[in-house]
Amino acid sequence: MHRIVVPDDFPKALSGTRAEEKLKEIGEVRIYMEKAKTQEELIERINEFDVVINIRAYTGLTRQVLGSCPKLRHLSIWGAGTDNVDLEAARDLGITVTNTPGSNAVAVAEHTIAILLALARQIPYLDREVRSGKWPRGEMVQLSGKVMGVIGLGAIGKNVVKIAKGLGMEVLAWTFHPSPQRAEESGIRFVSMEDLLRSSDVVSLHLRLSDQTRGFFKKGDFDLMKPTAFIVNTARAGLIELGELYNALRSKRIAGAAMDVFDREPLSHGDPITTLPNVVVTPHNSGMTPEAVMNGLMMAVDNVEAFLVNGKIDPSCLVVRGSR
């Protein structure tokens, strides 16, 4: 009997769904509905299991954690991000790691454009003012005819391009792996990072967080942007040096920011970024539509089934191939 554990279904996502039902057809399943308080508690939860399904990015699967779980053979991550996992340790220990790339791409792309529109049209501010009995009038930003710079052209970035073009925006892009074929497929033009920052009215980040991309966006990058430009981050907080972002917003070096990800979550009450009037924030929920959640959960379970039963994992979902 295969033994499968979900150590971090908090807030609840998998429990009570058809993904859980399918998982129980594969093996014995244990689901924890509370966050582990310590690393030791996390190890205790998973060290007797063959497979771990990782739901939440707050769960740090470090070398010490993975090394303390000699029975663990497969780590199935719900979502595309792997920055909470020591992938080198997993490789050394022979643990197979899979994720669910693209499962929430449409949802995150829609949210990216939604919070951009909320920022450009001052929706949160106007809503508060009207509810309080006021009737403010003022200029807003029209996106049609503006230039969007997309940094990272994976599944989410491609969907953002599609929606932005539908709004009548011109789209420029930068990626680690540009090619004429990728440019033609998305109907965009690849440019240098400097040209993208200087030309764009909106800069939208869609990179994965890794050692290569941590702190990717620095003070010098804000200095290149137009003072009327917006920045949108629905990827990972660690891509931007948040202190520099705060300074750029406070000094109006750039016009505004729309953000769904933060270095500490949940944000504490009165966090400095929330005191700025030119910021729109949401609680890291860009991919939390029912369709995207279920799609991703089923992909995570399918990866478990492929590993334990079929032995044929979809190559697009394979992050590390282990040998345990």
Q: Give me the active site residues, please.
A: 236, 265, 284
Task: Find out whether 207 and 183 touch, Cβ atoms under 8 Å.
Answer: no
Residue 185 sits at φ, ψ, to 5 deg, of -60, -40
Q: Which two tokens stand for residue 251?
A: 């000094």
Task: Find out whether 202 and 146 touch, Cβ atoms under 8 Å.
Answer: yes
How would you class 270 by CB atoms within 10 Å of its CB: exposed for 0-12, middle for 13-18, buried for 19 or more? Answer: exposed
In a 3-state reduction of DSSP, which class is residue 19?
helix
Instruction: Kindly give the interhelix angle for 105-120 and 290-305, rounded to the nearest 10 degrees.
Output: 150
Q: Which two tokens stand for residue 83?
A: 């920055």
Q: Which strands sit side by side in the sheet containing 3-6, from one edge to the other?
A: 28-31, 3-6, 51-54, 74-77, 96-98, 318-320
Task: Find out whether 74 and 289 touch, Cβ atoms under 8 Å.
Answer: no
Task: Find out whether 188 and 169 touch, Cβ atoms under 8 Å.
Answer: no
Q: Which residues contact 8 (CB under 8 A, 6 or more apart)?
A: 32, 35, 36, 54, 55, 56, 58, 59
Residue carrying structure tokens 């400097």: 194
